[in-house]
């Protein structure tokens, strides 16, 4: 019990201004859950709606890797401490795929309706990450071949669904990006192992059915 409570305290530890410690969360993800992470590019300090990267039209300001690149993602505690020791406010970026969770994301309004419908259907979900515009449901790792077969078998897949697999990424709480706060819509339960996540097939099947049943409009975003 002491070990579990210690993990929870570290994941939820606060800075002096009352906001969660990014380095503590990053260490939990990397060393305890074995999720490879890296620091994201910061939002432009002069205008937080813009990204700090060279792309003036960046669509995910402050919520993507830049320097270092995605391939630098690691579970090494020393590297994580060095990164966030030097960049304490950098967003935490999860490199999806491989041994790490993947994700299925959709616009926030549609996602809210979909999760309500999934709960009614008795669908078991793991952690769900929310940004102001999109929510991402974490799922078990899958290959592009598996995803291709899954989508090919569908008569209809909403165009607003996005898939974050091998070579993809998701910003994790408690990051702050140019768009706003990254938070847990469904928080992982504290424990001694990486949080449970469902199969991608189950999530896609249920999400498509939920969106179809509810008639939710899920525009491209």
Convert the pLDDT of each residue in 46-73 to its tens digit.
Answer: 656 677 777 777 777 778 888 888 999 9
Mean pLDDT calculated for residue range 196-201: 92
The answer, yes or no, to whether residue 9 has pLDDT greater than 50, is: no
The token duo for 19 is 């906001």
**pLDDT at site 44:** 62
Classified as helix, coil or strand, 134 is strand
Q: Rounded to an integer, what distance in angstroms lies between the CA atom of residue 126 and that of residue 188?
A: 7
Q: Which residue has the higher pLDDT, 62 or 75?
A: 75
Cross-strand bridge partners of residue 92: 39, 172
**pLDDT at site 186:** 95
Mean pLDDT calculated for residue range 139-162: 88
What percent of the chain lies above the pLDDT cut of 70?
Answer: 82
Cis peptide before 68 (omega within 30 of 0): yes
User: H/E element holding 128?
Assistant: strand 128-130
Cβ atoms of residues 105 and 137 within 8 Å: yes
Q: Which residue has the higher pLDDT, 160 or 131?
A: 131
The answer, yes or no, to whether residue 31 has pLDDT greater than 80, is: yes
- Sequence-ordered alpha helix ranges (H) in 123-171: 144-152
Classified as helix, coil or strand, 10 is helix
**pLDDT at site 45:** 64
The answer, yes or no, to whether residue 185 has pLDDT greater than 80, is: yes
Cβ atoms of residues 96 and 157 within 8 Å: no
29 pLDDT tier (thresholds 50, 70, 90): very high
Classified as helix, coil or strand, 55 is coil
**pLDDT at site 48:** 60
Q: Which residue has the higher pLDDT, 150 or 129?
A: 129
Where do we find the tokens 């929510």? 135
**pLDDT at site 43:** 65
**pLDDT at site 4:** 37
Helices and strands (H and E) in the chain: how many: 6, 8
């Amino acid at each position: 019990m002491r070990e579990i409570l210690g993990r929870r305290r570290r994941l939820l530890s606060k800075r002096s201004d009352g906001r969660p410690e990014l380095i503590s969360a990053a260490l939990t993800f990397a060393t305890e859950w074995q999720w490879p992470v890296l620091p994201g590019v910061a939002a432009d300090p002069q205008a937080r709606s813009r990204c700090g990267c060279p792309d003036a039209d960046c669509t995910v300001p402050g919520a993507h890797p830049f320097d270092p690149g995605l391939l630098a993602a690691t579970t090494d505690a020393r590297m994580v401490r060095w990164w966030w020791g030097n960049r304490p406010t950098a967003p935490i970026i999860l490199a999806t795929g491989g041994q790490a969770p993947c994700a299925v994301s959709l616009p926030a309004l549609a996602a809210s309706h979909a999760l309500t419908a999934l709960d009614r259907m008795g669908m078991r979900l793991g952690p769900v990450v929310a940004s102001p515009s999109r929510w991402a449901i974490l799922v078990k790792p899958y290959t592009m071949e598996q995803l291709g077969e899954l989508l090919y078998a569908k008569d209809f897949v909403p165009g607003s669904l996005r898939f974050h697999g091998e070579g993809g990424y998701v910003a994790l709480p408690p990051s702050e990006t140019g768009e706003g706060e990254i938070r847990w819509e469904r928080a992982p339960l504290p424990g001694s192992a990486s949080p449970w996540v469902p199969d991608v097939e189950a999530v896609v099947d249920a999400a498509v059915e939920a969106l179809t049943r509810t008639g939710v409009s899920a525009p491209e975003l």
